[in-house]
Amino acid sequence: MMYGDSGFGNGCSRYGARGEPRFRRGRRGPGDLRGGRGPFRVCSYYPSSSSASTPSYAQQLEGDRVSSPRWLEFDQAYFQSYSHVGIHEEMIKDRVRTDTYRAAIMRHQHFIAGKVVMDVGCGTGILSIFCAQAGARRVYAVEASEIAVQASEVVKENDLSDKVIVLHGRVEDVDIEEKVDVIISEWMGYMLLYESMLASVIFARDKWLKPGGLILPSHATLYMAPVTDGERYRNSIDFWRDVYGIDMSAMLPLAKQCEFEEPVVDTISGENVLTWPFAVKCVDCYTVTAQELESITTKYRFTSMMQAPLHGFAFWFDVEFSGPPMLQLNNHLHFPLANSSSEFYAHGSSHRKKRVKSDEVIVLSTAPEDAPTHWQQTMLYFYEPIEVKQDQIIEGSVTLSQSKENPRFLNIHLEYSSGGRSFVKESVMR
Protein backbone atom coordinates (compact mmCIF):
# COMPACT_ATOMS: atom_id res chain seq x y z
CA MET A 1 0.00 0.00 0.00
CA MET A 2 1.03 3.59 -0.61
CA TYR A 3 1.24 5.78 2.45
CA GLY A 4 -0.58 9.08 2.13
CA ASP A 5 1.49 10.94 4.73
CA SER A 6 4.76 12.65 4.00
CA GLY A 7 7.74 12.72 6.31
CA PHE A 8 8.26 16.46 6.47
CA GLY A 9 8.79 18.15 9.79
CA ASN A 10 9.29 21.79 8.81
CA GLY A 11 7.51 24.27 11.04
CA CYS A 12 4.07 22.65 11.12
CA SER A 13 3.80 22.06 14.84
CA ARG A 14 0.27 22.21 16.24
CA TYR A 15 1.60 23.00 19.71
CA GLY A 16 2.12 26.28 21.50
CA ALA A 17 5.45 27.62 22.65
CA ARG A 18 5.41 25.40 25.72
CA GLY A 19 4.46 22.26 23.84
CA GLU A 20 0.89 22.24 25.12
CA PRO A 21 -1.85 20.82 22.90
CA ARG A 22 -4.21 23.21 21.22
CA PHE A 23 -7.55 21.83 22.24
CA ARG A 24 -9.69 22.87 19.37
CA ARG A 25 -13.16 23.38 20.78
CA GLY A 26 -12.98 27.10 21.35
CA ARG A 27 -10.25 29.52 22.24
CA ARG A 28 -7.72 28.90 24.93
CA GLY A 29 -7.13 31.49 27.56
CA PRO A 30 -4.52 32.39 30.16
CA GLY A 31 -4.53 31.30 33.75
CA ASP A 32 -3.58 28.34 35.84
CA LEU A 33 -5.48 25.72 37.77
CA ARG A 34 -5.63 26.73 41.38
CA GLY A 35 -7.42 25.61 44.47
CA GLY A 36 -11.10 26.45 44.49
CA ARG A 37 -12.68 29.69 45.58
CA GLY A 38 -16.18 30.57 46.69
CA PRO A 39 -18.90 28.68 48.53
CA PHE A 40 -18.67 25.32 46.79
CA ARG A 41 -16.76 22.12 47.13
CA VAL A 42 -13.31 21.82 45.57
CA CYS A 43 -11.97 18.45 44.46
CA SER A 44 -8.45 18.26 43.08
CA TYR A 45 -8.05 16.02 40.06
CA TYR A 46 -4.32 15.50 40.68
CA PRO A 47 -3.26 12.37 42.59
CA SER A 48 -1.35 13.47 45.68
CA SER A 49 1.80 11.77 46.87
CA SER A 50 0.06 10.67 50.05
CA SER A 51 -2.61 8.81 48.10
CA ALA A 52 -0.37 7.38 45.40
CA SER A 53 -0.63 3.90 46.85
CA THR A 54 -4.41 3.86 46.30
CA PRO A 55 -5.18 3.97 42.57
CA SER A 56 -8.07 6.20 41.55
CA TYR A 57 -10.66 5.13 39.02
CA ALA A 58 -8.80 7.02 36.29
CA GLN A 59 -5.53 5.34 37.28
CA GLN A 60 -7.15 1.94 37.07
CA LEU A 61 -8.59 2.85 33.69
CA GLU A 62 -5.53 4.46 32.17
CA GLY A 63 -2.68 2.81 34.05
CA ASP A 64 0.71 4.49 34.21
CA ARG A 65 -0.34 7.38 31.99
CA VAL A 66 -2.22 9.07 34.82
CA SER A 67 0.87 9.22 37.02
CA SER A 68 3.03 10.41 34.14
CA PRO A 69 4.01 14.10 34.52
CA ARG A 70 3.47 14.58 30.79
CA TRP A 71 -0.03 13.10 30.99
CA LEU A 72 -0.88 15.36 33.92
CA GLU A 73 0.41 18.35 31.99
CA PHE A 74 -1.90 17.51 29.08
CA ASP A 75 -4.87 16.97 31.40
CA GLN A 76 -4.16 20.27 33.11
CA ALA A 77 -4.08 22.01 29.73
CA TYR A 78 -7.40 20.36 28.84
CA PHE A 79 -9.22 21.68 31.90
CA GLN A 80 -7.45 25.01 31.65
CA SER A 81 -8.77 25.44 28.11
CA TYR A 82 -12.29 25.35 29.52
CA SER A 83 -11.48 28.09 32.03
CA HIS A 84 -11.54 30.71 29.28
CA VAL A 85 -14.82 32.51 28.66
CA GLY A 86 -14.44 32.35 24.87
CA ILE A 87 -15.06 28.63 24.59
CA HIS A 88 -18.27 28.89 26.64
CA GLU A 89 -19.43 31.89 24.66
CA GLU A 90 -18.94 29.91 21.45
CA MET A 91 -20.89 26.91 22.75
CA ILE A 92 -23.78 28.93 24.21
CA LYS A 93 -24.09 31.03 21.03
CA ASP A 94 -24.46 27.80 19.08
CA ARG A 95 -28.24 27.98 18.95
CA VAL A 96 -28.61 24.54 17.40
CA ARG A 97 -26.75 23.02 20.34
CA THR A 98 -28.27 25.09 23.15
CA ASP A 99 -31.87 25.15 21.86
CA THR A 100 -31.81 21.40 21.23
CA TYR A 101 -30.63 20.68 24.78
CA ARG A 102 -33.31 22.97 26.21
CA ALA A 103 -35.98 21.34 24.04
CA ALA A 104 -34.84 17.90 25.18
CA ILE A 105 -34.99 18.94 28.83
CA MET A 106 -38.53 20.24 28.38
CA ARG A 107 -39.53 17.14 26.41
CA HIS A 108 -38.48 15.05 29.41
CA GLN A 109 -39.74 17.51 32.02
CA HIS A 110 -42.08 14.86 33.46
CA PHE A 111 -38.98 12.78 34.24
CA ILE A 112 -36.92 15.70 35.60
CA ALA A 113 -39.47 17.52 37.77
CA GLY A 114 -38.96 16.74 41.45
CA LYS A 115 -35.91 14.58 40.70
CA VAL A 116 -32.14 14.76 41.28
CA VAL A 117 -30.01 15.66 38.25
CA MET A 118 -26.26 15.54 37.64
CA ASP A 119 -24.73 17.78 34.97
CA VAL A 120 -21.30 16.38 34.02
CA GLY A 121 -19.03 19.19 32.83
CA CYS A 122 -21.52 21.96 33.53
CA GLY A 123 -19.36 24.84 32.26
CA THR A 124 -21.22 28.08 33.00
CA GLY A 125 -24.13 26.07 34.37
CA ILE A 126 -26.67 26.79 31.65
CA LEU A 127 -27.92 23.21 31.31
CA SER A 128 -28.12 22.88 35.09
CA ILE A 129 -30.27 26.02 35.18
CA PHE A 130 -32.49 24.68 32.39
CA CYS A 131 -33.04 21.54 34.50
CA ALA A 132 -33.85 23.63 37.58
CA GLN A 133 -36.33 25.62 35.51
CA ALA A 134 -37.87 22.31 34.44
CA GLY A 135 -38.59 21.55 38.09
CA ALA A 136 -35.60 19.48 39.20
CA ARG A 137 -35.47 19.15 42.99
CA ARG A 138 -31.67 19.27 43.05
CA VAL A 139 -28.96 19.61 40.39
CA TYR A 140 -25.34 18.68 40.99
CA ALA A 141 -23.38 20.82 38.52
CA VAL A 142 -19.91 19.26 38.23
CA GLU A 143 -17.12 21.25 36.58
CA ALA A 144 -13.35 20.64 36.75
CA SER A 145 -12.21 23.94 35.26
CA GLU A 146 -11.99 27.33 36.92
CA ILE A 147 -15.19 28.42 35.15
CA ALA A 148 -16.93 26.74 38.10
CA VAL A 149 -16.29 29.99 40.01
CA GLN A 150 -18.44 31.92 37.57
CA ALA A 151 -21.01 29.10 37.35
CA SER A 152 -21.55 29.39 41.11
CA GLU A 153 -22.10 33.13 40.79
CA VAL A 154 -24.52 32.66 37.88
CA VAL A 155 -26.54 30.22 39.96
CA LYS A 156 -26.60 32.65 42.89
CA GLU A 157 -27.64 35.61 40.72
CA ASN A 158 -30.58 33.59 39.38
CA ASP A 159 -31.75 32.66 42.91
CA LEU A 160 -31.19 28.95 42.33
CA SER A 161 -28.62 28.24 45.05
CA ASP A 162 -31.21 26.14 46.88
CA LYS A 163 -31.48 23.82 43.87
CA VAL A 164 -28.20 23.92 41.94
CA ILE A 165 -25.03 22.83 43.76
CA VAL A 166 -21.82 23.61 41.87
CA LEU A 167 -19.06 21.09 42.57
CA HIS A 168 -15.58 22.16 41.47
CA GLY A 169 -13.65 19.05 40.48
CA ARG A 170 -13.63 16.09 38.14
CA VAL A 171 -16.70 13.91 38.32
CA GLU A 172 -14.36 11.03 39.19
CA ASP A 173 -13.32 12.88 42.35
CA VAL A 174 -16.38 14.70 43.67
CA ASP A 175 -18.35 13.46 46.67
CA ILE A 176 -22.11 13.05 46.24
CA GLU A 177 -23.97 11.12 48.89
CA GLU A 178 -27.11 10.22 46.96
CA LYS A 179 -28.09 8.56 43.72
CA VAL A 180 -29.37 10.67 40.83
CA ASP A 181 -32.37 10.22 38.55
CA VAL A 182 -30.96 12.05 35.54
CA ILE A 183 -27.51 12.60 34.04
CA ILE A 184 -27.12 15.33 31.45
CA SER A 185 -23.87 16.25 29.74
CA GLU A 186 -22.67 18.00 26.63
CA TRP A 187 -19.70 15.65 26.23
CA MET A 188 -19.33 15.48 22.46
CA GLY A 189 -16.03 16.59 20.96
CA TYR A 190 -15.02 17.00 17.38
CA MET A 191 -15.48 13.77 15.51
CA LEU A 192 -17.71 12.82 18.48
CA LEU A 193 -14.98 11.08 20.49
CA TYR A 194 -12.22 13.70 20.62
CA GLU A 195 -11.48 14.73 24.23
CA SER A 196 -12.70 11.34 25.58
CA MET A 197 -15.20 13.06 27.88
CA LEU A 198 -17.76 10.30 27.44
CA ALA A 199 -15.71 8.17 29.82
CA SER A 200 -16.57 10.62 32.61
CA VAL A 201 -20.28 10.30 31.81
CA ILE A 202 -19.94 6.52 31.92
CA PHE A 203 -18.23 6.78 35.31
CA ALA A 204 -21.06 8.96 36.64
CA ARG A 205 -23.67 6.58 35.22
CA ASP A 206 -22.12 3.52 36.83
CA LYS A 207 -21.61 5.20 40.20
CA TRP A 208 -24.68 7.41 40.70
CA LEU A 209 -27.50 6.78 38.20
CA LYS A 210 -30.52 5.00 39.63
CA PRO A 211 -31.88 1.95 37.74
CA GLY A 212 -34.21 3.20 35.01
CA GLY A 213 -32.65 6.67 35.17
CA LEU A 214 -32.49 9.10 32.28
CA ILE A 215 -29.33 10.02 30.33
CA LEU A 216 -29.32 13.03 28.00
CA PRO A 217 -28.26 12.59 25.29
CA SER A 218 -29.11 8.91 25.19
CA HIS A 219 -27.54 7.78 21.92
CA ALA A 220 -24.89 9.02 19.49
CA THR A 221 -23.75 8.00 16.03
CA LEU A 222 -20.53 8.93 14.23
CA TYR A 223 -20.74 9.06 10.42
CA MET A 224 -18.23 9.29 7.62
CA ALA A 225 -18.49 9.93 3.88
CA PRO A 226 -16.11 10.63 0.98
CA VAL A 227 -16.05 14.25 -0.11
CA THR A 228 -14.84 16.47 -2.91
CA ASP A 229 -13.57 19.93 -1.96
CA GLY A 230 -11.75 21.59 -4.84
CA GLU A 231 -12.11 25.05 -3.31
CA ARG A 232 -10.06 24.04 -0.28
CA TYR A 233 -7.22 22.82 -2.51
CA ARG A 234 -7.36 25.92 -4.69
CA ASN A 235 -7.20 28.30 -1.75
CA SER A 236 -4.59 26.46 0.32
CA ILE A 237 -2.44 24.55 -2.18
CA ASP A 238 -2.77 25.84 -5.74
CA PHE A 239 -2.25 29.37 -4.40
CA TRP A 240 1.50 28.66 -4.27
CA ARG A 241 1.77 27.92 -8.00
CA ASP A 242 1.49 31.60 -8.88
CA VAL A 243 2.12 34.18 -6.15
CA TYR A 244 2.13 37.68 -7.65
CA GLY A 245 3.56 36.16 -10.81
CA ILE A 246 6.24 34.20 -8.90
CA ASP A 247 6.38 30.41 -9.15
CA MET A 248 6.42 29.17 -5.54
CA SER A 249 5.66 25.54 -6.32
CA ALA A 250 8.56 24.56 -4.10
CA MET A 251 6.23 25.39 -1.19
CA LEU A 252 3.66 22.78 -2.23
CA PRO A 253 4.96 19.75 -0.25
CA LEU A 254 5.24 21.78 2.95
CA ALA A 255 1.89 23.48 2.34
CA LYS A 256 0.18 20.11 1.92
CA GLN A 257 1.75 18.77 5.09
CA CYS A 258 0.82 21.81 7.17
CA GLU A 259 -2.71 21.89 5.76
CA PHE A 260 -3.59 18.20 5.65
CA GLU A 261 -1.35 16.29 8.06
CA GLU A 262 -3.89 16.58 10.88
CA PRO A 263 -7.69 16.55 10.72
CA VAL A 264 -9.27 19.86 9.76
CA VAL A 265 -12.40 21.21 11.45
CA ASP A 266 -14.38 23.07 8.81
CA THR A 267 -17.85 23.44 7.36
CA ILE A 268 -18.82 21.74 4.13
CA SER A 269 -22.19 21.43 2.41
CA GLY A 270 -24.15 18.46 1.17
CA GLU A 271 -22.87 19.33 -2.32
CA ASN A 272 -19.38 18.21 -1.25
CA VAL A 273 -20.51 14.71 -0.23
CA LEU A 274 -20.05 12.01 -2.87
CA THR A 275 -22.22 9.30 -1.30
CA TRP A 276 -24.74 8.83 1.46
CA PRO A 277 -22.94 8.29 4.78
CA PHE A 278 -21.76 5.26 6.70
CA ALA A 279 -22.25 4.82 10.46
CA VAL A 280 -18.79 4.28 11.95
CA LYS A 281 -19.96 3.84 15.55
CA CYS A 282 -23.33 3.79 17.30
CA VAL A 283 -23.21 4.54 21.01
CA ASP A 284 -25.91 3.66 23.53
CA CYS A 285 -25.11 5.84 26.54
CA TYR A 286 -27.08 3.50 28.80
CA THR A 287 -24.84 0.51 28.08
CA VAL A 288 -21.56 1.64 26.47
CA THR A 289 -18.33 0.96 28.38
CA ALA A 290 -15.19 3.09 28.49
CA GLN A 291 -13.14 0.13 27.29
CA GLU A 292 -15.04 -0.27 24.02
CA LEU A 293 -14.31 3.37 23.17
CA GLU A 294 -10.54 2.97 23.52
CA SER A 295 -10.29 1.59 19.98
CA ILE A 296 -12.94 1.37 17.25
CA THR A 297 -12.36 -0.32 13.90
CA THR A 298 -14.84 -0.70 11.09
CA LYS A 299 -14.80 -1.47 7.38
CA TYR A 300 -16.68 0.69 4.91
CA ARG A 301 -17.73 0.53 1.25
CA PHE A 302 -19.10 3.46 -0.75
CA THR A 303 -20.35 3.86 -4.31
CA SER A 304 -19.67 7.31 -5.74
CA MET A 305 -22.75 9.08 -7.00
CA MET A 306 -20.83 11.35 -9.37
CA GLN A 307 -17.58 11.84 -11.21
CA ALA A 308 -15.36 14.12 -9.18
CA PRO A 309 -11.97 14.28 -7.48
CA LEU A 310 -12.01 12.54 -4.10
CA HIS A 311 -10.21 14.89 -1.70
CA GLY A 312 -10.78 13.03 1.55
CA PHE A 313 -13.39 11.96 4.08
CA ALA A 314 -15.72 13.96 6.28
CA PHE A 315 -16.85 12.87 9.75
CA TRP A 316 -19.83 14.17 11.70
CA PHE A 317 -22.27 12.95 14.32
CA ASP A 318 -25.83 12.96 15.59
CA VAL A 319 -27.01 12.60 19.17
CA GLU A 320 -30.51 11.62 20.28
CA PHE A 321 -32.41 12.51 23.41
CA SER A 322 -34.57 9.43 24.01
CA GLY A 323 -36.02 8.19 27.26
CA PRO A 324 -34.53 5.30 29.23
CA PRO A 325 -35.27 1.79 27.94
CA MET A 326 -37.58 1.03 30.87
CA LEU A 327 -39.63 4.11 30.09
CA GLN A 328 -39.88 3.15 26.45
CA LEU A 329 -41.29 -0.28 27.33
CA ASN A 330 -43.77 0.97 29.91
CA ASN A 331 -45.16 3.73 27.70
CA HIS A 332 -44.99 1.74 24.47
CA LEU A 333 -43.02 4.51 22.82
CA HIS A 334 -41.00 3.54 19.78
CA PHE A 335 -37.83 5.47 20.43
CA PRO A 336 -34.80 4.28 18.45
CA LEU A 337 -32.19 2.27 20.30
CA ALA A 338 -28.40 2.07 19.92
CA ASN A 339 -28.21 1.83 16.13
CA SER A 340 -31.14 4.05 15.37
CA SER A 341 -29.31 7.16 14.20
CA SER A 342 -27.93 5.34 11.19
CA GLU A 343 -31.51 4.50 10.22
CA PHE A 344 -32.38 8.18 9.91
CA TYR A 345 -30.75 8.10 6.47
CA ALA A 346 -33.24 6.57 4.07
CA HIS A 347 -31.46 3.71 2.34
CA GLY A 348 -30.84 4.41 -1.30
CA SER A 349 -31.66 8.09 -1.03
CA SER A 350 -29.58 10.84 -2.59
CA HIS A 351 -26.94 12.41 -0.37
CA ARG A 352 -28.67 15.74 -1.02
CA LYS A 353 -31.94 14.60 0.53
CA LYS A 354 -32.78 15.27 4.14
CA ARG A 355 -32.71 12.40 6.55
CA VAL A 356 -35.89 10.67 7.63
CA LYS A 357 -36.48 11.67 11.25
CA SER A 358 -38.99 10.46 13.78
CA ASP A 359 -41.20 13.13 15.31
CA GLU A 360 -40.88 11.43 18.68
CA VAL A 361 -37.10 11.84 18.89
CA ILE A 362 -35.16 15.05 19.44
CA VAL A 363 -31.92 14.93 17.46
CA LEU A 364 -28.91 17.24 17.51
CA SER A 365 -27.22 16.84 14.14
CA THR A 366 -23.89 18.13 12.88
CA ALA A 367 -24.44 16.76 9.35
CA PRO A 368 -23.39 18.90 6.35
CA GLU A 369 -27.00 19.28 5.16
CA ASP A 370 -28.26 20.49 8.53
CA ALA A 371 -27.91 23.88 10.21
CA PRO A 372 -24.24 24.57 11.08
CA THR A 373 -22.94 24.09 14.62
CA HIS A 374 -19.68 24.97 16.35
CA TRP A 375 -18.60 21.34 15.86
CA GLN A 376 -18.78 21.83 12.07
CA GLN A 377 -17.44 18.68 10.33
CA THR A 378 -14.06 17.02 10.76
CA MET A 379 -12.19 16.56 7.50
CA LEU A 380 -9.41 14.12 6.77
CA TYR A 381 -7.84 15.35 3.55
CA PHE A 382 -5.50 13.47 1.22
CA TYR A 383 -2.25 15.02 0.03
CA GLU A 384 -3.24 14.13 -3.53
CA PRO A 385 -6.87 13.78 -4.70
CA ILE A 386 -8.09 10.65 -6.46
CA GLU A 387 -10.23 10.95 -9.56
CA VAL A 388 -13.36 8.81 -9.19
CA LYS A 389 -16.08 8.08 -11.70
CA GLN A 390 -19.79 7.70 -11.07
CA ASP A 391 -20.56 4.30 -9.49
CA GLN A 392 -16.87 3.72 -8.67
CA ILE A 393 -16.29 1.81 -5.44
CA ILE A 394 -14.43 3.48 -2.55
CA GLU A 395 -13.69 1.03 0.27
CA GLY A 396 -11.37 0.42 3.17
CA SER A 397 -11.30 0.59 6.94
CA VAL A 398 -10.91 3.18 9.68
CA THR A 399 -9.58 2.80 13.21
CA LEU A 400 -10.09 5.45 15.87
CA SER A 401 -8.16 4.94 19.08
CA GLN A 402 -7.22 6.90 22.16
CA SER A 403 -3.63 8.08 22.01
CA LYS A 404 -1.22 6.42 24.42
CA GLU A 405 0.50 9.80 24.70
CA ASN A 406 -2.72 11.45 25.87
CA PRO A 407 -6.09 9.65 25.99
CA ARG A 408 -7.85 12.89 25.06
CA PHE A 409 -6.12 12.82 21.67
CA LEU A 410 -7.58 10.68 18.90
CA ASN A 411 -5.41 8.50 16.66
CA ILE A 412 -6.84 7.90 13.19
CA HIS A 413 -5.71 5.09 10.89
CA LEU A 414 -7.47 5.21 7.53
CA GLU A 415 -7.07 2.68 4.75
CA TYR A 416 -8.76 3.47 1.46
CA SER A 417 -8.83 1.93 -2.01
CA SER A 418 -10.40 3.01 -5.27
CA GLY A 419 -9.72 2.45 -8.93
CA GLY A 420 -7.15 -0.25 -8.24
CA ARG A 421 -5.00 1.94 -5.99
CA SER A 422 -4.65 1.57 -2.22
CA PHE A 423 -3.48 4.06 0.37
CA VAL A 424 -3.01 4.49 4.10
CA LYS A 425 -3.31 7.77 5.99
CA GLU A 426 -2.43 8.09 9.65
CA SER A 427 -3.20 11.18 11.65
CA VAL A 428 -3.65 12.41 15.21
CA MET A 429 -6.33 14.84 16.36
CA ARG A 430 -4.59 16.90 19.03
Residues with active-site annotation: 186, 195
CB neighbourhood size of 213 (10 A): 22
CB neighbourhood size of 305 (10 A): 17
Q: Is 381 helix (H, G, I), strand (E, B) or coil?
A: strand
**DSSP string across 98-148:** HHHHHHHHHHTHHHHTTSEEEEET-TTSHHHHHHHHTT-SEEEEEE-STHH
Q: Which residues contact 78 (CB under 8 A, 6 or more apart)?
A: 21, 23, 195, 408
Q: How far apart, in whole angstroms, are the C-alpha atoms of residue 139 and residue 122?
A: 10
> Residue 10: phi, psi to the nearest 5?
-95, 95
Are the C-beta atoms of 115 and 137 separated by less than 8 Å? yes
- Select from 195, 194, 197 the least CA-distant residue to 120: 197
Are the C-beta atoms of 182 and 213 separated by less than 8 Å? yes
